[in-house]
């Protein structure tokens, strides 16, 4: 199975995982470890924690593969959702949010246009970053705060000192605009 793993669709791999096929789990891991680990690391800012979390996320993929329903969304979305929730749970559990908030205040992280680690960067990543760069700054900022720090609308409003209504509108317009920008273009990504 590993030999031709690159040609098997994500959906087929997850179906095999749900039947207890460990090589399929390995193939999913090989395919998505970079993006999922990058995501978790961005949320947790700690390699050790992030590796434990990645392990936890894949254990959940192994246990719950039968719950994946391809009629409701892409496998990529399912995997990313699991990794992000595990990472945010861990973030809340270690109570590191205060620490992160300090860090974020010191150096506002905004990876758009970051030139580091180009070798690992994927084409998809470039397209998403380009689309993000086209959003107005405030929209992009609220989206990234919600996505990578797991903040709610109310928490974001408090953090940025903006009215709740403004934050809601920015997040909503931001995500909808992003979907538009990515919509036609990202069709080639799937």
Partner 1 sequence: MEHQEYQELLALYALDALDASEARALETHLNTCAACSAELAGLREAAALLAHASTPAEPRAEVRARILEDARHEPQGGQPVARTSAKVVPLRPGAVASRWPNVLRLAAALAFVALLTGVIVFWRRDVKSRREIAQLSRQINTEQRELARDRDVLARQREALALLNSPGMKKMDLAGTQTAKSARATFVFDRETGRSVLMTEGLPAPPADMAYEVWFIPKGHAPMPGKMFTVDAAGHAMISDHVPMEARENPVIAITLEPKRGSAVPTGAIYLSSSSS
CA 99 to chain centre: 21
Shortest spacing between CB 13 and partner 1, in angstroms:
14
Other CB atoms within a 10 A radius of the CB of residue 31 amount to 18
Q: Does 135 bind partner 1 (CB under 8 A)?
A: no
For partner 1, give the closer residue by CB, 23 or 99: 23
Decide if 45 contacts 90 (C-beta within 8 A): no
Binding region for partner 1 (CB under 8 A) out of 4-12, 24-32, 89-97, 99-107: 24-32
Q: What are phi and psi of 189, to 5 degrees?
A: -80, -25
Q: Does 148 bind partner 1 (CB under 8 A)?
A: yes
Decide if 88 contacts 43 (C-beta within 8 A): yes
Shortest spacing between CB 92 and partner 1, in angstroms:
12
Site string for partner 1, 99-118 (x = CB under 8 A): ------------xx-x-xx-
Task: Say which DSSP state 188 is in.
Answer: G
Near partner 1 in 38-67, by CB under 8 A: 38-39, 41-42, 50-51, 54-55, 58-59, 62-66
Q: Does 89 bind partner 1 (CB under 8 A)?
A: no
Q: How far apart are CA 24 and CA 144, in angstroms?
A: 32
């Amino acid at each position: 199975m590993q030999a031709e793993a690159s040609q098997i669709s994500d959906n087929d791999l997850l179906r095999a995982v749900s039947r207890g096929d460990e090589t399929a789990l390995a193939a999913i891991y090989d395919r998505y470890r970079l993006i999922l680990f990058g995501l978790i690391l961005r949320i947790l800012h700690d390699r050790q924690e992030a590796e434990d979390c990645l392990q936890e996320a894949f254990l959940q993929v192994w246990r719950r593969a039968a719950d994946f329903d391809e009629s409701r969304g892409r496998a990529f979305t399912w995997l990313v959702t699991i990794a992000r929730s595990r990472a945010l749970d861990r973030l809340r559990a270690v109570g590191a949010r205060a620490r992160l908030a300090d860090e974020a205040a010191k150096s506002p992280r905004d990876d758009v246009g970051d030139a580091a680690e180009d070798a690992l960067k994927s084409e998809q990543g470039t397209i998403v970053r380009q689309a993000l760069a086209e959003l107005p700054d405030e929209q992009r900022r609220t989206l990234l705060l919600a996505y990578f720090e797991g903040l709610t609308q109310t928490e974001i409003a408090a953090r940025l000192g903006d009215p709740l209504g403004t934050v809601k509108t920015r997040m909503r317009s931001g995500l909808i605009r992003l979907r538009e920008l990515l919509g036609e273009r990202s069709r080639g990504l799937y």
